[in-house]
Structure 1
Amino acid sequence: MNKTEKLLQDFIENLKKTFGERLTSVILYGSCAVEGCDTSKSDINSIVVIDGLNGNDLEKANIALKKWLKTENPLPIFFDRAEWFNSSDVYPIEYSDIKERYRILHGEDIVAPLQVEHRNLRHQCEYEVKNLLIKLRETYIAECTDSKTLETAIKSGSKTLIALSRAILRLTNESVPAKHEEVINHLAAKVGIDGEFLLKTLAFRKDKKVFSKKEYGEIVKKLIDTTDFILKYVDKLGK
């Protein structure tokens, strides 16, 4: 048993001791759920569902998760059982992502029965893309001469677009590839955007190359125009 498996085992055992039969399900989702847990490359993303979750339970959870809190992994997301089944309309992107890549670590499979409605997914996609576009515009207007701010905008903007690209492909009933590069290529072909540019912004997150203020500005402006084009495409899907 490796360190990750031991961490997950202790995590589940502590939750079982704390919540007993009220522990409905513990879900592992994301790349770790289907590709194995290489924690040097991927976070361990998890969801804990408790029947009748209340404020006092959160204090108990803090004690149960002492070891987990010392790691660099994200804090598990806690849901009440009823809340879990009533949230697919407000978290359609997140629920779609979970349904695509998940593994039940304990309890019942409460992911498989979930239904994500197309109209809810499209609505959240439009909201998130529009929100990104507004933020990019505001950043460029206020900080168009600040290289560090523009660099951060490129990195965060491209990361957001990658996540949204998966959801947009689902709107078109496309199968969603596992690799980011393939997701971008599929979206570019479907929407009619410059996929090579988006791939460069994706690589930019790992690249330590330094650009001039003008170059940063040109990248951000093209990212803004690309986001605007994607927004118009998503909007048309609702007509």
Structure 2
Amino acid sequence: MTPEKLVEELKKACPTGLKSVVLYGSAAAGDHTGKRSDYNVLVVTEDLGTATLDALSKTAAKWAQAGNPAPLLFTQERLAQATDVFPIELLDIRECHKILHGGNLVAELEIDTKNLRLQLEHELRGKLIRLRQAYLLTGGKPKAVADLMVQSLSTFLVLFRAALRLFGDRVPQPKFEALEELAGHLDFDVAVFRQVQELKDGTQKPKDVAVGELFNTYLKTIECVIDAVDAFIHKGE
């Protein structure tokens, strides 16, 4: 199901209460890689009671069956109220999006970045903890470890791009451009992430890579970014 087809289905399911449908993420940033990427959409409706949820559920299920995350659902009021606790996500959406239907409600969001460092450190540390937990269950098997890195890569690249907001004014939308920019501030080697991307793309196979060594470097580089975020003192704080 394409984003355009999704909009058609949503309009049929919610003919009067659908206020906006917003495409964000890799597809809006120019990073989309066909079948290997999914589509992310934010849907704003008049209300989010069970009647609305029930009306949207069939369309959401078909969207998910096509390999996409379920739509993010907000009312306009709830979206504005969420800016203090989701600065990473909403800054990204505000800066790079495509309106598929309705008004551009995300452009109107007022987002204070003073909570960015705290959310960023929380997310990075939590993801690193879960990465180590998952590694314990791989038994060190190269294919399983490679899959673990591949599955976590996109999340870390999104968080690294958010980290760049703390250290520089230029924040490119494509994730690897942002990674290169961040490496210029923090002095780490981006090669490890490019190699994991090659595993994800299928241009390299786990059997041709020193997976254990790669995973060790992957962990250390993530820790480098976390330490820099932890040490950062936001101007004005």
SS at match of 2:155: helix
Cα distance change of structure 1 residues 137 and 57 upon mapping to structure 2, 3 Å threshold = same
TM-score (norm 2): 0.83
Whether the 8 Å CA contact 1:27–1:48 is kept in 2: the answer is yes
Report the CA distance between 1:223 and its aligned residue.
1.2
SS at match of 1:205: helix
Distance 1:37 1:217 in 2: 29
Report the CA distance between 1:99 and its aligned residue.
1.0
Mapped pair 1:167 → 2:162: yes
Whether the 8 Å CA contact 2:7–2:101 is kept in 1: the answer is no
Task: Provide the residue aligned with 1:11 in structure 2.
Answer: 9
SS at match of 1:203: helix
Unaligned runs of 5+ in 2: none
Task: Provide the residue aligned with 1:210 in structure 2.
Answer: 206
Distance 1:66 1:158 in 2: 26
Cα distance change of structure 1 residues 116 and 144 upon mapping to structure 2, 3 Å threshold = farther
Worse overlay, 172-181 or 96-105: 172-181
Report the CA distance between 1:134 and its aligned residue.
1.6
1:130-180: CA deviations, max 9, x gaps?
A: 112222333445545322331122213322221111101122243222333
The alignment yields a C-alpha RMSD, in angstroms, of 2.9
Mapped pair 1:125 → 2:120: yes
SS at match of 2:169: coil
Tell me the number of residue pairs that the alignment of Structure 1 and Structure 2 aligns. 233
SS at match of 2:207: coil
1:105-136: CA deviations, max 9, x gaps?
A: 22222111212222221111101111122223
TM-score (norm 1): 0.82
Task: Provide the residue aligned with 1:62 in structure 2.
Answer: 57
Match of 2:140 among 145, 155, 177: 145
Worse overlay, 122-131 or 27-36: 27-36
Cα distance change of structure 1 residues 136 and 84 upon mapping to structure 2, 3 Å threshold = same
Letter in 2 for 1:162: L
Unaligned runs of 5+ in 1: none
Match of 2:151 among 156, 167, 184: 156
Match of 1:99 among 84, 94, 103: 94
Letter in 2 for 1:205: K
